[in-house]
Structure 1
Amino acid sequence: MDQPKQPFAYRDYRLFWIGRLASNLAQNAMVVVIGWQVYDIARLTMGTKAAALQLGLIGLAQFLPIFALTLITGWTADRVDRRLIGRICLGLQLVCASMLAWATLADGRTLAPLFAGAVLLGITRAFSMPALNALAPNLVPAEVLPRAIATNAIGNRVGGILGPALGGYLYAIWAPLPYLTSAVAYGVALACLMLIRPIARTMLDGSRNPWRQMVEGLAYVRDNKLVLGAISLDLFAVLLGGATAMLPIFARDILHVGASGLGHLRAAPAVGAMAVALWFSWRPLRQHVGMKMLAAVAVFGIATIGFGMSRWLPLSLACLVILGGADMLSVYVRQTLIQLYTPNEMRGRVGAVSTLFVSASNELGEAESGFLAALIGPVAAVVAGGAGAIGITLLWAHWFPSLRLARTFEVKR
């Protein structure tokens, strides 16, 4: 009897998908509100450039725990039950959301709780992302995995669409409300993960040196030029072209659309990303995957430049939609290559390296954008970042010919 081809036919994958959707809703709502609060509080006593520096610091606060813990979290994801790691992290994220709700209610004009919450979110993401990304391929057959990755990306992007908008709207109603809503969503995600049944997995050799096991993930990525090229391309392109970190500045001081407008701006990239993910869940990418990924990163850079130069909200939203769709195509190819080309017993460690690169491109990219905006202004920083992303695409096409030559996804056992 043929196996089902749709990932939702598998019970544990359905639970996993619902849990990731709920946690992404919570995380995106919290991130947009934290960024808005940090910038809004800073602007009470600082100019635009000095307040932008605070946005850079909040991104750094989320990135440093991931950077410091990468080797440990990957090794843990390959040695400890991945469901348990996810459950603990979701519980801590629930506590974090509750803490920020209380802090906002008690004293909504203090930066310290926001930075503490950002650090805690960084720590939990450092452990949860490698574990949950490594868990997903165990929930469906390998033949269904490319479709499952696209479907999982839909859940991520739905969270990316609704989360920021929900955070902005709820914050406008009552400042603690987005954090309270996030706490409930984390509770739903935790319940789903509790219901996933035990998963058979390869155990690490307990007699081998743990440090050597930790660095094997780095060695694998270094030696596999296709995986290294895909991960590093995403790292440097998003690191340079991270316009989303500047959205609170554009919403408040350039486009003048306020907190609700910030929700629209934060949701726009996810709209484009979800449209692309929906398409791939129906018709998975099959031909010339490498060249299409490179082209998508170039489009990402062009859309970033367009957003930086726009002063009209509809045009800004359109650029962000295109930016998000291009980024989704790149993410889809990268994640599929990593999952299919990595042995199950190494997925946690390789996933931790991938998490570090993703966080470097996101959180560290936010820090870089904030610092650059403090030096040359937010508009120049965004335009320069988009141009840098285009330049990175051209360099990577030359330095990693395996990316250009990657034509199809091939399952590796």
Structure 2
Amino acid sequence: MGRIFRWAVVLVILVMLISGSVAFYTIFFGGKDLVIPPLREMSVLDAVDEAERIGLEVKIEQVDSSIPAGTVLAQWPEPGTKVRRDKNIIIKISRGGNKRAVPDLRGMETAQALKKIQELGFTAGDMVKINDDSRAAGTVIAQNPAVPAVVDDEAKIDLLLSLGPVPKDGRVPVPDLAQRNEADGRELIAQSGLKFGGVEYVSTQNTPGGMIMSTKPKAGAMVRLGDSVKLVVATNQKKPEPKVTPPGSAETPSGTTTVEQQPAQTVQVGPAGPVKTVITPKDPEVAGALGIPTASTSGGVQQEVHPPQQVSGATGTAKIRYQVPPITKPMGLKIEMVDATGTKSLLARDVKGGEYITLDAPFVSESVVTIYLGGEFVWQERYR
């Protein structure tokens, strides 16, 4: 009996040793014969079939993407990794749909950012303006949704815009407008709390026509809020200065331009400035050369407001958000809307610096909203 018992004990020990050896080999050496295959850009069905064929279990996660639905975007572990059999592998697939990544608009000028938003099929949302010491006026500071969000087509993108540095002792720096076009220069002057002081054209062949060469005062100069800034703009063609010749003159010297005058009209200078009477030439180009404002060029000219047509049923609401830039004294703010029913004055009153204006204005079909501050054009936006 003793001998049989001893042999039984030896047999049990051998079985335990063999089982332990097999388990040790399986854990540390066995099963590492599987290499993760590349599954990116496969369809989800093909990826699952490939993984299960070599003995892997698949876990699927869906994410928003502009890539067609069901396409594998990422996997874990990475291709080429060695794993044990029956190891879980995670693949991320696209939900698809009409979604796309939002563009990175930070650092762009306002006009450039709005153009980018429109080109990609998105819609400009709320625009909030704040002072920022490190960014020039009109520069995009932040956006919502932020990069790298993926959103629906025609989603709204809100912008946080810079008003430039906080005024010190009522003074702000003249923005650097070199190498910008004239329209952008006017807009940035207004956004800096300054006044557009006209254009001085300089004939040159070294700078593209229409490009701003410098400003007066020069960029960086500290000026008071509301001071005028003149643009120095390049022109590649020198035009002769027109001379005014009274109608009915016996002779008109060669090289002069006869300016045909029309009846005097009353011009309102600024939102609350004095009223004066000027003689306005019929030719806007000649009037501009003479420095005489016309109804199409002067934001301070009183314009006729056409009564709205009787069109029932608004089709949308324009959500207007505007923050008045820092100003030393109240200025006149005017907000106008033009839609299928005609021209409407939404707001016309004096405002203070930093005041935040919120308006929800119903419109028919589509509308264009224009903002004037101190008689100068500030902003225009289209709503559909």
TM superposition score normalised by structure 1 = 0.22
Q: Which structure carries more relative contact order (alpha carbon 8 Å, separation 6+)? A: 1
Larger Rg: 1 or 2? 2
Determine which structure has the larger helix proportion and give its number: 1
Q: Whose strand fraction is larger, Structure 1's or Structure 2's?
A: 2
TM-score by length of 2: 0.24
